[in-house]
Amino acid sequence: MDSARMGKNTLLYFAQNRMANRLAKQYGLKLGAKRFVAGTSIDAALQASRELNAHGMTVTLDHLGESVANAGEAHKATQSCLEVLNAIGQVGIKARLSIKLTQLGLGLDRELCLTNVLTIVENADRLNNFVRIDMEDFRYNAATLEIYRRVHRDFPNSVGIVLQASLFKTKEDALDLAQAQANVRLVKGAYRESSGVAWQSKSDIDASYVDLLRIYLRTGNFTAIATHDDAVIETIKDFIHANKIPLGRLEFQMLYGIRSELAKQLVRENYPVRIYVPFGNDWFAYFMRRLAERPSNMAFLFRRDTSIVR
């Protein structure tokens, strides 16, 4: 294994290490994580959202956290999601919510998790909002899709899902979800997966990603194109024009703190753009995945941050 890949695997290992997560919480938003996380409080996240809205971008809020240890923690995370939905309605920002199912108990008890997700999506539906279920590592893929399908049956307009281009199974999943008119966010995939289930090289993952974007955009269902990759974005813009895909059925999505100039450029070109804004104390795993995506980000470990909105 080459050293870059070893470094990436080490960061992804730490992302799932409980002790490292606990230590990070004690030290606040240090280690340069501020570049990728809007703050620890909901007020900080709402402020970042207002600023992004002012730049013509909508937002997805993510109250950070994953892999809870017991039902009480899953319940607490559910309540936090409800608070975020209520706050969005009260302050009147253009924002939605993303959730991770292991934060809502998927690793403990599937029924408990389903109940929590139904509670959140039911509230979002009542508030005319929308909840996207993020996709975590492969262990949870099938269960996440199953819960999504179940919730989508009751609330077809208020819940969406994420598919990862790195996985071999995703093409089949995409075709299947297209039949159900699912609103899908397509990503390359942020987790370390085995060669038995996922492409390993960047070129294979990139090719799969473009292939899936073309397939899904053509189905006529809503497609969120979640990437910072210039080459992919240019290819897909050409595809959108050549195939006259209505702009109301797609949006570009990017992560807070990454390629913000590119996001602004897309807004100037009149594309819908949504920024994923994570906040909260449980920032460590999220931050490790961002470092793993780009080794040069390690420089942020040693830098003091000043501004948070880019």
Number of H helices, E strands in the chain: 11, 8
Q: Active site includes 134?
A: yes
Binding mask 40-79 for ligand FAD (x = CB under 6 A): ----------------------------------------
Counting contacts by CB under 6 A, is residue 16 touching ligand FAD? no
The active-site residue, picked from 185, 192, 274, 290, is 185
Nearest to 62 by CA among 95, 23, 16, 32: 95
Residue 240 CB, nearest approach to ligand FAD (Å): 17
Q: Residue 81, exposed/middle/buried by CB under 10 A (0-12, 13-18, 19+)?
A: buried
Cα–Cα distance between 223 and 197 in angstroms, integer? Answer: 24
3-state SS, residue 44: helix
Counting contacts by CB under 6 A, is residue 276 touching ligand FAD? yes
Residue 35 CB, nearest approach to ligand FAD (Å): 8
* Interface region with ligand FAD, contact rule CB under 6 A, candidates 24-32, 45-53, 101-109, 286-294: 286-294
* Interface region with ligand FAD, contact rule CB under 6 A, candidates 3-11, 120-128, 142-150, 251-259: 251-259
Q: Toward ligand FAD, which CB reaches closer, 139 or 244?
A: 139
Q: Toward ligand FAD, which CB reaches closer, 22 or 168?
A: 168
* Interface region with ligand FAD, contact rule CB under 6 A, candidates 3-11, 12-20, 183-191, 210-218: 183-191
Cα–Cα distance between 223 and 203 in angstroms, integer? Answer: 22
Tokens in use for 124? 């979002």
Within 289-308, which residues bind ligand FAD (CB under 6 A)?
Answer: 290, 293-294, 297
Q: Toward ligand FAD, which CB reaches closer, 58 or 281?
A: 58
User: 237 Cβ partners below 8 Å, 6+ apart?
Assistant: 269, 271
User: 167 Cβ partners below 8 Å, 6+ apart?
Assistant: 138, 141, 189, 193, 197, 198
Q: Toward ligand FAD, which CB reaches closer, 36 or 78?
A: 36
Nearest to 263 by CA among 39, 37, 51: 51
Do residues 94 and 127 touch, judged by C-beta distance below 8 A? no
Residue 238 CB, nearest approach to ligand FAD (Å): 18
Q: How far is CA 220 from the centre of its chain?
A: 22
Among 68, 85, 104, 135, binds ligand FAD (CB under 6 A): 135
Within 254-273, which residues bind ligand FAD (CB under 6 A)?
Answer: 254-255, 258-259
Counting contacts by CB under 6 A, is residue 190 touching ligand FAD? yes
Residue 97 CB, nearest approach to ligand FAD (Å): 13
Q: Residue 219, exposed/middle/buried by CB under 10 A (0-12, 13-18, 19+)?
A: middle
The active-site residue, picked from 35, 96, 134, 206, is 134
Within 136-165, which residues bind ligand FAD (CB under 6 A)?
Answer: 162, 164
Nearest to 223 by CA among 238, 207, 212, 208: 212
* Interface region with ligand FAD, contact rule CB under 6 A, candidates 83-91, 103-111, 188-196, 237-245: 188-196
Among 66, 134, 193, 282, binds ligand FAD (CB under 6 A): 134
Show the CA angle centred on residue 23, arms to residues 280 and 35, nearest 5°. Answer: 45
User: 279 Cβ partners below 8 Å, 6+ apart?
Assistant: 37, 38, 39, 40, 41, 42, 44, 45, 48, 61, 62, 63, 64
Chain contacts with ligand FAD (rule: CB under 6 A): 134-135, 162, 164, 187-191, 226-229, 253-255, 258-259, 276, 290, 293-294, 297
Which residues are known to be catalytic? 134, 185
